[in-house]
Amino acid sequence: MNYRHAFHAANYADVLKHALLVRLVRAIQGKEKGFVFVDTHAGRGRYDLSRAAQGDSRARQPEWPGGIARLWDRADAPAGVQDYLGIVRGYDRSQGNLTAGPRFYPGSPRIVRLIARPQDRLELWEKHPAECAALRNEFSGERRVSVHEADGYGAIKACLPPAERRALVLIDPPYEAQEEWSAVSAALGEGIGRFPGGTYAVWYPLTGRARTDGLLGWLEGADVPSFAAELVVDPDAPRMTGCGVAVVNPPWRFDEEARLILAYLQVALSCGHGAQGSVRWIVPK
């Protein structure tokens, strides 16, 4: 487990994932009844971008200039992206940043906590001890937030089906190892088996079509509606050309909202010719 999200925080991948996450939560909150948010790979919950380049042993290029920084001052985004931007700008200011650019960036648990209602709760899983200690500290004393230092794939069995009978599960692993792809499919299979009505969002990198096809092919064979929202920012990038979020059991008409978000981000976050945003059904509703 060498992965540290701090290097990647607020990059274009976080922007796509978190913009969709905000709108998924809003859609689920269209009903009064509470829901549980399960974050299988939660990270530390809060990132100081001014330290994003400081590693354990060597300096790195921070990635947020290619992500949140490119949207920070824009006012032309569609409502869904504006919603996300309002949340991250508000959080940044609430943490005391007085500079013009972004500094404090909320991770997925904090984003959901910021918009959660009293009837919603959060189950956060993080395996890395230092990251989990920071996460625990971030949410200490919060009654409706549970933090677990454990393998996030265990969250599926531990949290599903939920008492509320409503759930949003985010699966956002680091994909350090090739086996992560099969672990994700297995977790989805177990989740859908235990709680077929839940909404599942899976982030994945676009590094090699074959690996992606394995996950999307698995979804094709599953008997539940799903779509893939993919953003290619640089088709010529040597390793990661972009990323995607697969959404299983999306809320009603969420594909339309996702299309607007992708169309905007495709232009706003493009790094060259051929940037592309797409939303395509894997198993239609």
Ligand X SMILES: C[S@@+](CC[C@H](N)C(=O)[O-])C[C@H]1O[C@@H](n2cnc3c(N)ncnc32)[C@H](O)[C@@H]1O
Enumerate binding residues for ligand X (CB under 6 A).
1, 3, 5, 17, 39, 41-43, 107-108, 125-128, 131, 151-152, 172-174
Catalytic one of 92, 120, 172, 234: 172
Q: In this complex, which beta carbon is closest to ligand X, that of residue 181 or of residue 281?
A: 181
Decide whether 5 or 166 has the Cβ nearer to ligand X: 5
Q: Which residue is nearest to ligand X (CB)?
A: 107
Cα 173 from Cα 93, distance rounded (Å):
29
Q: Which is nearer to ligand X, 107 or 251 (CB)?
A: 107
> CB of 185: closest distance to ligand X in angstroms?
15
Cα 263 to Cα 245: distance, rounded to the nearest angstrom: 15
Residue 64: half-sphere exposure toward Cβ, Cα within 13 Å? 23
DSSP secondary structure string for all residues of the chain:
----GGGTTTSHHHHHHHHHHHHHHHHHTTSSS--EEEESS---SEEEGGGTTB-SSSB---SGGGTHHHHTT-----HHHHHHHHHHHHHHHHTT--SSS--EEE-HHHHHHHH--TT-EEEEE--SHHHHHHHHHHTTT-TTEEEE-S-TTHHHHHH-S-TTS-EEEEE-----STTHHHHHHHHHHHHHHH-TT-EEEEEEEES-HHHHHHHHHHHHHSSS-EEEEEEES-TT-SS--EEEEEEESPPTTHHHHHHHHHHHHHHHT--STT-EEEEEEEE--
Q: Is 236 one of the annotated active-site residues of the chain?
A: no
Instruction: Provide, rounded to whole angstroms, the least separation between the CB of residue 173 and ligand X.
Output: 6
What are phi and psi for residue 188, nearest 5 degrees? Answer: -65, -45
Cβ distance to ligand X smaller for residue 130 or 267? 130
Q: Smaller CB distance to ligand X: residue 15 or 281?
A: 15
Residue 8 or 121: the one with the smaller Cβ distance to ligand X is 8
Tell me how far, at minimum, the Cβ of 223 lies from ligand X, in Å.
Answer: 27
Smallest distance, ligand X to C-beta of residue 91, A: 12
Q: What is the closest distance, in whole angstroms, from the C-beta atom of residue 269 to ligand X in the complex?
A: 16
Least separation in angstroms between residue 273's CB and ligand X is 28
List residues with catalytic annotation.
Answer: 172
